[in-house]
Amino acid sequence: MYSRTARTLMLLAPVLAAAPAAAQTARDLPRPPVARVLPRTDTLHGDVRVDNYFWLRDRANPEVISYLQAENRYADTAMAGTRALQETLYQEMVGRIKQNDLSVPDRIGPYFYYSRTEEGKQYPIYVRRRGSMTAPEEVIFDQNRMAEGHGYYSLGAFAVSPDHRMLAFAVDTAGSEHFTLMVKDLSTGQVLPDRIDDVHFGVTWAADNRTLFYTRTDASQRPDRIFRHAVGTPTASDVKVHEDADPLFRVSVERTKDNRFIVVGSESYTTSEAMVAPAAGPFTFRMVSPRQDGVIYSVEHQGDHFVIRTNADGANNFKLVQAPDADPSRRAWRELVPARDSVLIDGMDVFRNFLVLYERGNALRQIRVRDVRSGREHAISFDEPVFNASPGSNPEYNTDTLRFGYTSLVTPSSVYDYDMGRRERMLRKQTEVLGGYDPARYASERTWARASDGTMVPVSLVYKKPFVRDGSRPLLLYAYGSYGISTDPAFSVANLSLLDRGVVYAIAHIRGGQEMGRGWYDQGKMMNKRNTFTDFIAAAEHLVGERYTSRERLAIRGGSAGGLLMGAVVNLRPDLFRAVVADVPFVDVINTMADASIPLTTAEWVQWGNPVASEQEYRYMLSYSPYDNVEAKAYPTMLVTTGLNDPRVAYWEPAKWVARLRATRTDDNLLLLRTNMGAGHGGSSGRYDALRETAFRYAFVLHNLGIDR
């Protein structure tokens, strides 16, 4: 996500004035790989469905690997003419990074913890200093050294014990999200014999500095059990603290910010419950409130009471309640901050004297501060019309300083410390963008598209000045729109390589996210899921109709569930887009959601529907499933990416989709499948490798929008 040199307007002028160059087609290349047809028949609710490419699921079959490798070679051949552009983009991105850099230190007890990066090294180095930032630096974890010998190395947990003597960390060396938990003695630098395989994200220390809580998964990678481990003892003696047999639920464990309690949670997308136990022991957990269908809550602790964020009692946009330590059950809940129709309480943070609310209103993220002593509240104000204010790292409970992040489409990522009592902010760091970046040369705005049902959908845009809405500008439109995950406007140095070439970058805040509140999410899931796709189409049509761009210069991108979005909209409106990038796309909706053995499936039945249990849900899902709706018609130029070890969207979904598209479509536009054979859902783990992948994608986009330099 980085770029370097800004192009001058003189250099851009001929690019912007020219019509899109004729992009390469499949006719210009050797014959693409053809997947073998091996029909498999499934019957569901009386429908007989034939899947010619089911066999691609078997990664142990050498023919499958050979096919993926052949697709990679074909993609490399097709993109050979853009290699110079790829290298230029990569050098721009790397050139704008301050490669030797430091994060803003976090004060935790007697130590200042921070990370730093070094030129040429893929990963951060985690360090600390005792007492002050002038004290000697102590390296506690050099991820580069630990990653030696591994093509992929990702951390799923990183937690220092309360006495600062031990570090618990979990690593994944394949991208499969199967982590191994280990413990390092920070006084000796030695990794202890404690080694626990197949753990999930996250780990929590108890107050005794010896007890670790961690989660394990079932055969479908659903985190279903929580264990307690005493450092230095055999893992066989670990105690199972909790198990949730309900396939819709996932378990988690954490410590309250004041370090008083361990919280064990079970949650689905619609329902949750939590249990608490003293962090100092004994580890006997008591229920806060038993699960009730449709009621979600999360627990923190402040002073002598629990603070609970919940949607109970019709608080669709959530409210805050408090309950005494002696009785945190629902009967003792007392309203602290009421719910509001126009503002979503997206999260909270607690301090000894203050309560912080992270809110969403009108597609903007906001921060509100409440003094718990006086009850007075105030909002932190920001000047830009389109921005993102987000929680920072705030590990300390006994402080009046709030750390938050701020960014916009033109403002680089910034870290502020805010004195909540004095209402004063101090900029601690703004990401330095090398190469003379000047935000005054760019502009961002918000426009609104009218969806097919009349709903107004916000769209955020950024472009380089001067900008004239005459339909000539190329534009890349991005969206996600699922799981209630909001796509906030944020600065990207990688996107500068697009903006400096005259490309407009836009984000469609479509239903399925929570940009406009919880109802925005509810209107974009289950039997309302098609709103996500029609919102995106409406946004694209609006951008064309208002002459921000034209169909011939419009590219789109989405990943994971956003890849489902890409697949759905190219089936619905293939004429609307010039080029498509679908990263790790969830496209085989029926087959995946009908197979309970696949990771995430059971938990997501309340997200998409259960095609086996409900014929109504099956037929609705079938109406938009990209794999099931490929037709004999012309499709745009497409780049599809995946990772062989991806546990969230298996490689075979995009592989099957591309195979069916190749066999069915009527056009000769370029269709590429690129598989990272050593990574998972997030692509390469190293920062330089990830930039290479970004350069490849952006070269594809630029080339197909008629820009080749």
Distance CA 16, CA 502 (A): 7
pLDDT of residue 10: 25
**169 lies in some domain:** yes
What's the average model confidence in pLDDT over 90-101?
95
pLDDT of residue 27: 73
Encode burial over 484-522: b for 16+ CB neighbours within 10 A, e otherwise.
bbbbbbbbbbbbbbbbbbbbbbbbbbbbbbbbbbbebbe
For residues 76 and 193, membership in a common domain is answered with no
CA 43 remoteness from chain centre: 35
**368-376 contact pairs (CB < 8 A, 24+):** 369/402, 369/418, 369/420, 370/337, 371/420, 371/421, 372/302, 372/303
Q: What is the pTM of this model?
A: 0.93
Residue 24 pLDDT grade (very low, low, confident, very high; cuts 50, 70, 90): low
DSSP β-ladder status, 442-450 and 424-430: unpaired
Q: Name the CA radius of gyration of the chain, rounded.
A: 26
**370-425 pLDDT per residue, tens:** 999 999 999 999 999 999 999 999 999 999 999 999 999 999 999 999 999 999 99
Task: Reply yes or no on whether the pLDDT at 494 is more than 60.
Answer: yes
pLDDT of residue 358: 98
**116-134 pLDDT per residue, tens:** 999 999 999 999 999 999 9
**197 lies in some domain:** yes
Of these residues, 646, 684, 685, 703, which one is catalytic?
646
Of these residues, 289, 413, 486, 560, which one is catalytic?
560
pLDDT of residue 683: 85
Distances (CA, A) of 197 to 64, 422, 600: 28, 48, 20
For residues 52 and 111, membership in a common domain is answered with no
| SS3 state at 106 | strand
Write down the mean pLDDT value for the chain.
95
**347 lies in some domain:** no
For residues 130 and 65, membership in a common domain is answered with no
**420-441 pLDDT per residue, tens:** 999 999 999 999 999 999 999 9
For residues 281 and 327, membership in a common domain is answered with yes
**55-66 pLDDT per residue, tens:** 999 999 999 999
Q: How many domains does the chain have?
A: 2
CATH code of the domain covering residue 86: 3.40.50.1820
- Residue 704 has what DSSP assignment? H
**603 lies in some domain:** yes
Distances (CA, A) of 165 to 112, 158, 183, 333, 583: 14, 13, 10, 38, 41
Which residue type, as a one-letter code, is found at position 436?
G
**346 lies in some domain:** no
CATH code of the domain covering residue 298: 2.130.10.120
DSSP β-ladder status, 305-310 and 319-324: antiparallel
Q: Which of 341, 365, 391 is the last residue of a domain?
A: 341
For residues 115 and 198, membership in a common domain is answered with yes
Of these residues, 229, 305, 681, 703, which one is catalytic?
681
How many CB atoms within 10 Å of residue 563? 28
For residues 77 and 115, membership in a common domain is answered with no
For residues 460 and 337, membership in a common domain is answered with no
Q: Which of 300, 321, 341 is the last residue of a domain?
A: 341
For residues 86 and 114, membership in a common domain is answered with no
Instruction: Determine the structural domain holding residue 305 and report its residue range.
Output: 106-341
What's the average model confidence in pLDDT over 511-524?
98
Residue 218 pLDDT grade (very low, low, confident, very high; cuts 50, 70, 90): very high
**487 lies in some domain:** yes
Q: Name 431's Cβ contacts closer than 8 Å, sequence gap at least 6.
A: 98, 412, 413, 414, 491, 493
DSSP β-ladder status, 354-361 and 344-350: antiparallel
DSSP β-ladder status, 637-643 and 671-676: parallel
Distance CA 655, CA 653 (A): 5
**235-247 pLDDT per residue, tens:** 999 999 999 999 9
668 given a catalytic annotation:
no
**413 lies in some domain:** no
pLDDT of residue 679: 87
**325 lies in some domain:** yes
Distance CA 326, CA 335 (A): 17
HEC letters along 7-60: CCHHHHHHHHHCCCCCCCEHHHCCCCCCCCCCCEEEEECCEEEEECCHHHHCCC
What's the average model confidence in pLDDT over 460-474?
98
For residues 144 and 284, membership in a common domain is answered with yes
Task: Reply yes or no on whether the pLDDT at 16 is more than 90.
Answer: no
For residues 486 and 546, membership in a common domain is answered with yes
CA 55 remoteness from chain centre: 30
560 given a catalytic annotation:
yes
Cα angle 609, 479, 51 (rounded to 5 degrees) comes to: 45
Q: What is the DSSP string of 251-270?
A: EEEEE-TTS-EEEEEEE-SS
Distances (CA, A) of 204 to 86, 218, 224: 42, 20, 16
For residues 90 and 112, membership in a common domain is answered with no
DSSP β-ladder status, 297-302 and 424-430: unpaired
**293-329 pLDDT per residue, tens:** 999 999 999 999 999 999 999 999 999 999 999 999 9
For residues 294 and 152, membership in a common domain is answered with yes
Q: Which of 341, 363, 393 is the last residue of a domain?
A: 341
Q: Report how many helices (DSSP H) and strands (DSSP E) the chain contains, helices first.
A: 13, 38
What's the average model confidence in pLDDT over 660-665?
98
Task: Reply yes or no on whether the pLDDT at 22 is more than 80.
Answer: no
Distances (CA, A) of 420 to 112, 430, 630: 21, 21, 55
